[in-house]
Amino acid sequence: MIAATGDEIKNALEGIFGVGGANLKGREGTLAKVEIFYRKEDKDPIEWLANFEKAAETNKWATEERKVKVAAAFLKGAASDWYDAKKTDIGAHWITSNNGGNNFVDQFKGYFASDTQKNRWYQELLTL
């Protein structure tokens, strides 16, 4: 049996975790929670997207592909069905102009915050 010296163990750990744990810093996490989004009239899709963006920044979901995958996991019911029908068009595009508007954010807003829905919200606001 060969025993490692303290320096050998330190060097091995620094090789894995970086000096002072540098490789651990900036890693993805789940510090900020995201609410499940259902397609319900009392749920604001624009607010849900804004909250998701804040959580994505906090949790370091940095790439567009990662954001799409994580957001899809928080869609349930009719919202999940919508994503299943659109995921081929959306691909790994969160919010980019180079996919002809076929990105998660534009498609999500277009479907869940349609002009009809916006008119309904406006009428509700006027009656308050």
pLDDT tens sequence across 80-112: 999 999 999 999 999 977 788 899 999 999 899
Confirm if 46 and 109 have CB atoms less than 8 A apart. yes
Q: Which residues contact 10 (CB under 8 A, 6 or more apart)?
A: none
- Residues in the chain where the model's pLDDT stays below 50: none
pLDDT at 118: 67
Alpha carbon of 8 to those of 11, 100, 111: distances in Å? Answer: 5, 53, 58
Q: Which residue has the tokens 């899709």?
A: 45
> Burial level of 72, CB count in 10 A (0-12/13-18/19+)?
middle
- Please tell me the distance from the alpha carbon of residue 11 to that of residue 19, in angstroms, as a whole number: 9
pLDDT at 10: 83
pLDDT at 126: 79
- Please tell me the distance from the alpha carbon of residue 115 to that of residue 34, in angstroms, as a whole number: 26
Is the pTM for the entire model greater than 0.75? no
